[in-house]
Structure 1
Amino acid sequence: MRKRHILAAAAPAAAVPLATAIPAYSHAWITTPPSRAALCAAGTVKNCGDIQWEPQSVEGPKGFPAQGPADGTLCAGGNSRFAQLDDPRGGAWPATRVSAGQRLTFTWKFTARHATTQFRYYLTKPGYNAGSKVTRANLDTTPFLTVPYNGAQPPATLSHTATLPSGRTGHQVVLAIWDVADTGNAFYQCMDVTF
């Protein structure tokens, strides 16, 4: 009888780590080209903190560029839990090789499909220093691609193809934003590219 009580007490305690490892609310991240969140989740980049288990949770206030996360916290959506995404790592984030005028496809993976206002994609300005955090001052705040979604829910995966702007060389950062229609938040993803 005593063994049964010990097992009964141990079962809930063992379940706690499993329950806390699975986020209560999941959303989306960009898988290709690999975002910083995807690189951390895949183990390609180490020392990422919680983002390695929650690449879909980079959520912060919407309204960029007039509002939204503070400068230097854009890649983490202003969420201090994921501050590792804002660390430029001395410009050492793995980068996808691209060229000006190239058509590049961005693929989102959704784990919760919110009603959506739009998706927007921004690129750092010519001369961006890959060793610095992403700010409004070093981003072209006019998106190179905007995809209206008019309140619809996206499917489990969704891709957008854009023509990359010219005038860039070296290591640059793409900031992608998924504006949710039914909350005050948006989801932020940064991808490193090399022209």
Structure 2
Amino acid sequence: MISVVGFGSLLSERSARDTVPGLNDYRLVRVPGFRRIFNKVGIVFIAGHGQPADSLEVSSCSTEPCSTISIIAAQFECPVDQFTELYEREHRYRWIEVVPIDLEGRPQIAARMCTGYTDLEYRLNKCVTEDEYHERVGRHYQGAIWRDDILPFPRYLKFCLVSAAAHGDEVLDNFLDTSFLADGRTSIRDYLITRPELVPSSLRERVC
């Protein structure tokens, strides 16, 4: 088994099982020293969900170090032979090792978690040739993948909110307050106060 931490759409166990049907021991944990940030262009939103490539509302969620923040995430054990599918799903991220703690503060086993990359590092380390980069990215989108001027893809953000809320108010509040726009300054909670139409109706009172 390979231990994995998920912090965005993987807060939904159903979504995790879509890619890793054999996962075990899905549970909530804290990851100290990281925050979420919506600064990666989600190529799948362009290639698979019809979002225009020139839209600003195209980002998915990543993580970055932040010594003052602790995110609540999901940890699960992934069978080795199913990790390839998860690796493909998260291909444009860098994988790092983190040591989560459970919600009572007890250390858990080390796990792999996705975090930010740069465009150059992605090309050098994940795409062997220009043809591979074109197949994975270039035929759908021209431009930087990691940006500081983009906004969350609305359907993805709503899914993350619903997934966090399903675990209770503490997890939802943590998501709202430890997640930031690509500008690195605006929390998702503050963003949604200005964009209440992006909040699922079932969560309006809990978010705004």
> Please, what TM-score do these two structures have when normalized by structure 2?
0.22
Which has the greater radius of gyration?
A: 1
TM-score between the two structures when normalised by the length of structure 1: 0.23
Higher helix residue share: 2
